[in-house]
Amino acid sequence: MKIEGSVDAELVPAPVVLVTVGKGEAANIITIAWTGMVSDSPSMIGVSMMHSRHSYGLLCSLREFVVNIPRASDVDKVDVVGVVSGRKVAKFTEIGFTPLKASKVRPPLIAECPINLECALRHQLMLGKYDLFVGEVVAAHYDDGVLDTKGRLKSTPDIGLTLVSLEYWTLGQKVGDFGHAGKEWRTARRRPHESRRDSARAATLSGPEPPHMVSCRQ
Ligand SMILES: Cc1cc2nc3c(=O)[nH]c(=O)nc-3n(C[C@H](O)[C@H](O)[C@H](O)COP(=O)(O)O)c2cc1C
């Protein structure tokens, strides 16, 4: 049985990242949990930020940001960054992060973060108190040893901090590879006389054509 819950919904887990905005002495860091990859080729990341944040003005004026993936062991510093404002605190020096020059954008990378994704702002969607900023990843940096020989992230327990109902969690155990069950399921489902192309076509034709563009206005 299901019970009806609050519509103040949350998606779990939410990735916790440190976003850097602004440049030079004015550079600032903000902790963000409302974020995610929203596209590939080009890679795009969405970041949702409240208008009242000091970082909001810095992002709007420079139209560039860096998404820095913190180490789980830096959770205390990540939390502090997320409860104090750059209006009052020089977060890099006072909280103890080191700025590094980025290659394509003006906000700095955070040296202590093993992954840094430089983003150029492409879209800004107003959502009441928040704006959703969508940035294209224009450069990516990885600490030595973070990627395997195929360029994939090694499963490292210290990388990947998440938020679940206001609690910080690291990633637990690996439970499968992308597509491992899907491939088997598709093979078992395909009728023996059907070609791969026939079944893909049948799947496409079975529902109404999705709209290519929908209006967000009510
Ligand atoms: C775990 C965590 C996640 C947060 N996620 C967001 C978020 O997605 N969007 C947002 O606007 N603020 C978020 N915040 C709040 C900001 O990080 C916080 O208000 C910060 O002090 C703003 O700093 P600034 O004024 O220097 O920009 C989060 C805070 C924490 C601790």
> How far away, in angstroms, is 213 Cα from ligand 1 center?
31
Residues 114, 68: Cα–Cα separation, whole Å: 8
86 lines ligand 1 (CB under 6 A): yes
Atom nearest to 84 CA in ligand 1: 21
CA distances from 34 to 10, 45, 49, 152, 170 (A): 10, 11, 8, 24, 17
* C-alpha R_g of the chain: 21
Residues 33, 161: Cα–Cα separation, whole Å: 10
For a ligand 1 pocket test, name from 30, 54, 60 the mutation site with the most ligand atoms within 8 angstroms of its C-beta.
30
Residues 101, 58: Cα–Cα separation, whole Å: 17
pLDDT in tens, 43-82: 999 999 999 999 999 999 999 999 999 999 999 999 999 9
Q: How many Cβ atoms from other residues are within 10 Å of residue 89's Cβ?
A: 16
Q: Tokens in use for 28?
A: 């600032």
Counting as low any pLDDT under 70, the low residues of the chain are 192-218
29 lines ligand 1 (CB under 6 A): no
Atom nearest to 89 CA in ligand 1: 26
> How far away, in angstroms, is 55 Cα from ligand 1 center?
9
Q: Give the 3-state secondary structure of residue 50.
A: strand
Q: Tokens in use for 150?
A: 């195929």
* Domains of the chain with bracketed CATH: 14-170 (2.30.110.10), 176-207 (no CATH)
57 lines ligand 1 (CB under 6 A): no
> How far away, in angstroms, is 4 Cα from ligand 1 center?
29
Which residue is closest in CA terms to ligand 1's atom 9? 49
49 lines ligand 1 (CB under 6 A): yes
How confident is the model at residue 202, as a pLDDT? 61
Q: CB under 8 Å to 139, separation ≥6 — which residues? A: 102, 103, 104, 105, 117, 118
> How far away, in angstroms, is 32 Cα from ligand 1 center?
5
- pTM for the model stands at 0.89
How confident is the model at residue 190, as a pLDDT? 84
How confident is the model at residue 201, as a pLDDT? 63
Q: Tokens in use for 193?
A: 């006389």
For a ligand 1 pocket test, name from 17, 32, 62 the mutation site with the most ligand atoms within 8 angstroms of its C-beta.
32
34 lines ligand 1 (CB under 6 A): yes
Q: CB under 8 Å to 161, separation ≥6 — which residues? A: 15, 16, 70, 71, 72, 75, 78, 168, 169, 170
How confident is the model at residue 217, as a pLDDT? 46
Percent of the chain with pLDDT over 70: 87
How confident is the model at residue 218, as a pLDDT? 44
Sheet holding 115-127, edge to edge: 28-32, 17-21, 64-69, 115-127, 130-142, 44-50, 35-39
